[in-house]
Amino acid sequence: MTQLFPGRFPATRLRRTRAESWSRRLVAETALSPNDLIWPVFVTHGDENEPIASMPGVERYSLKNIGRAAKEAYDLGIPLIALFPYTEPDKRSDDGREACNIDNLVCRAIGEIRSHAPDIGVMADVALDPYTSHGQDGLVDDMGRILNDETVAVLCRQAITQARAGCHMIAPSDMMDGRIGTIRNALDEEGFQAVQIMSYAAKYASAFYGPFRDAVGSRGVLKGDKKTYQMDPANSEEALREVAMDLAEGADSVIVKPGMPYLDIVSRVKQQFGVPTFAYQVSGEYAMLVAAAQSGALDQDAAIFESLLAFKRAGADGILSYFAPKAARILMQHDTIKP
């Protein structure tokens, strides 16, 4: 055998540090814990949870059960729950007025969570798509165009309503221009200076949102598409501009959505801005991993952790994932991921 390093071939052996589990854990560059997880939760009326067919293992939680679910999440070490409502068709309207009802489903769910798990963080989504009869995130004119500034005014009222209900964090996911600064000013003027804003700063017009629309009741409701306000999947420089604008307007943290197909965006955002950056492992990503596991194509637990680690490795400070409770349970059992 020809020796590249005569007499001491090779002096450096990278396999040495990979040879034993203890050593792999000792030199691991990326770590995952329950503190890195945000659990997106769907909530519905009634006394019983409702399974979501396109997201096996995920349910809409009833108001009766959402508090206990939040307590379980807190006990698992999950810091934050993100709430999304399933709105009945008779509560939807062209102007999405139910979004600003202090007695709406989200506000009542916030109250239930705060009473059962007062120390867990509660994040409320700010957008009109769960409440509009046309399924768009904003108001629509007679020509079908999304009205930016008129929508922002409604979003401010929605954010204040959620803050009054007791949420800790507002998450505008609508992608209207200027909404972060306007919402921040509105919250401050109403005395909610402590309420954080986690902005969906780089939210793409993605094919991976399908099961989510089932979960919130928008499947078949949406008229047209969302390409005039959600981002073009071809663009990355534009994502940095979106993030820069939202930070300048007062966002405390930012989200890149979807997650796995946009790890390059997560990395660029974190490197350029150095702010708390989160990735959303969206419903389509969840459904694909579950379907692959159910077919026997992959080991679900291993795939979950590998995907979550990928977000962390790319620079995400945390991940919104429907796998959050399952991942947290295994992490609590093993203290760490065993390589």
Catalytic residue numbers, as ranges:
203, 257
Q: Which amino acid is at 220?
A: G
The first and second tokens of residue 284, run together, are 């389509």
Residues 159, 187: contact at Cβ < 8 Å?
yes
Residues 128, 139: contact at Cβ < 8 Å?
yes
User: How far apart are alpha carbons 208 and 195 in whole angstroms?
Assistant: 30
Nearest to 275 by CA among 307, 231, 243: 243
User: How far apart are alpha carbons 106 and 124 in whole angstroms?
Assistant: 8
User: How far apart are alpha carbons 61 and 46 in whole angstroms?
Assistant: 9
What are the residues facing 62 on neighbouring strands? 44
Q: Give residue 117's region: left, alpha or beta (phi > 0; psi -120 to 50).
A: beta
User: How far apart are alpha carbons 200 and 1 in whole angstroms?
Assistant: 57
Residues 269, 202: contact at Cβ < 8 Å?
yes
Question: Would you call 248 helix, strand, or coil by DSSP?
Answer: helix
Residues 132, 154: contact at Cβ < 8 Å?
no
* Residues with Cβ within 8 Å of residue 19, at least 6 apart in sequence: none
Burial of 35 (0-12, 13-18, 19+ CB in 10 A): middle
Does the annotation place 242 within a ligand binding site?
yes
The first and second tokens of residue 127, run together, are 């957008």
Other Cβ atoms closer than 10 A to 13 = 10
How far CA 63 is from CA of 69, 170, 212, in Å, comes to: 10, 20, 19
User: How far apart are alpha carbons 110 and 119 in whole angstroms?
Assistant: 12
- Pick out the residues of the known binding site: 242
- Pick out the residues of the known binding site for Mg(2+): 242
